Every structure is written in C-alpha cells, then in structure tokens.
Amino acid sequence: MWQRIVLVIVLGLTFLILGKLEPGAVLLDVPFGIAYFLAELFGKWRPGPIWVAEHPGLEMFCFSVWPLVVSMLIACGVIFVAAKLWSSGAKYSRVCAVAFLAIVLALIMVVRTEPGHFRSSYFGHWAENY
C-alpha cells in the first residue's frame, strides 16, 4: 500500500513539474488553468497584476494549490489503473502496466499546442496578464 502512495507522490510531482515547465503540454496546461478560468468566469479576476494584491488567497490557490491537486488526482488515477493491471495475474499484466505508464507520459509530452492557445490555459493567463 505504501508503495502506491510513494508512486502517486513521485508521479504527481512529475506531472506538476512538467505542467509548470512545459506550457505546450496541453493535457496538463489546461487542467492547471481551470482555476484561473473559473476565477475569471465568476468575476474575481481582473486582468493585470493588480488583482494579486486584491485577492492574495485566490492567487495562491490558483497558482500553487490547484495545480498540485490536479497533478495528484491525475497521478492517483494513473497509478490506480496501473496497479490493477499489475495485479491482474494475466501473463503479460506487468508489461501492460509499465506500457500504460509509458503511454500516459508519452501522451502528455506529445499532445502539444501553441502555449496559451486555449482560454482556460494556465500559461495563457500568465502571458496575457503579466
């Protein structure tokens, strides 16, 4: 059980670092930016750096907490599926589990778009407002 927790933490931090450093990786950039999109949708967002002084808690949540939560949830889902594959007892179940992990990481890195292309993009909010 603790092995899964360690794997979730390691994979979650990997997703967090990839999402912060690779703005073109749309499968992480858009989920990270949903908090900014919702803040704008509900009228809490004002374009420009002024809103950070007005709502420091919201900025901390959107910048740090939300991407961490999203990356850990994605990691939990990936590790849950990989653990089920690993322990299924089929002939090549462990190979399938490792292949699944590799495919997920490859999809995150291969599915790319122009940074800030979507309205709910994490990088897009930073590029547009700072």
Query: What's the domain range around 69?
Result: 2-118
- Give the C-alpha separation, 94 to 9, whole Å: 21
Inside any domain, residue 126: no
| Total domains present in the chain | 1
Please report the pLDDT score of residue 11 as a whole number: 92
> Is the residue at 129 inside a domain?
no
Q: Compare 68 and 3 and report the one with higher pLDDT.
A: 68
Report CA torsion sign: 43, 46, 52, 53.
negative
The reply to whether 130 falls in a domain is no
Q: Is residue 67 part of a domain?
A: yes
Instruction: Check the CA dihedral 59-61-62-65 and report its sign.
Output: positive
Q: What is the pLDDT of residue 124?
A: 75
What's the rounded mean pLDDT across residues 82-91? 87
Q: How confident is the model at residue 47 (pLDDT cuts 50, 70, 90)?
A: low
Interval 65-84: pLDDT, tens: 999 999 999 999 999 999 99
- Alpha-carbon distance 99 to 82, whole Å? 9
The reported pLDDT for the residue numbered 60 is 84
The model's pTM: 0.85
Helix, strand, coil percent content, the chain, rounded in steps of 5: 75, 0, 25
